[in-house]
Amino acid sequence: MGRRHVFTKTELLDQTKQLLLEYGYEGFQLKMLSERLVGARSTIYQYYANKEEIVAACLRRVMEDVLHQANAVDETDCMKALQQLLTIYLKEAGFHQMLGFVHKINKTNSPATARDLEFVEQAHFLLKNQLERLFVRAREEGHVKPDIPLSAVIGVFLNLINTPNLMNIPLPQWSELLYRIFWEGAGNR
């Protein structure tokens, strides 16, 4: 009789992310997670003590990836940088939704949860600053109308992430299309 496969931390966090995107924080249950993983449910507890630790670790891992990609963007040309950021955000579109879970997680019971959520909040602040910095430069260079508040422009830009890709266009082309619509509009001039 063979030993049961023990899943990795990466597999656990990948499945956590999928379940969070499908069911939200309130609908996420460890039983559901264990049913998606090949191995004993007790293996989950070798990595994390509870639901909050798992979700916080998942959020941190996704945020680390987004932050790493965003930090690699060359900001020399602010317009190209904004297009690259849009592609990064579209690739991790579900993470925008997942950020809403941060304030639902009880971080008082676990120092690990508190650390992970603190990282997520600090990284979110850094990403927000990056966008603001690039849009300020875009305004200074004449790409953004001076009479429209930057917070509104940034808000609309971020909402591009939620635009459904009903045509199933590959991500790079989808990002380019949304970016063009944002800057050029959709109507004839």
Domain spans of the chain?
9-184
User: pLDDT tens digits for 55-81?
Assistant: 999 999 999 999 999 999 999 999 999
Residue 43 token pair: 């293996």
What is the fold, at CATH topology level, of the domain defined by 9-184? Tetracycline Repressor; domain 2 (1.10.357)
Q: Is 57 exposed, middle or buried (0-12, 13-18, 19+ CB in 10 A)?
A: buried
In this prediction, residue 4 has a pLDDT band, given cuts at 50, 70 and 90, of low
pTM of the full predicted structure?
0.88
Tokens 């460890």 correspond to: 30
Q: What are phi and psi of 37, to 5 degrees?
A: -105, 140
d(CA 37, CA 44): 9
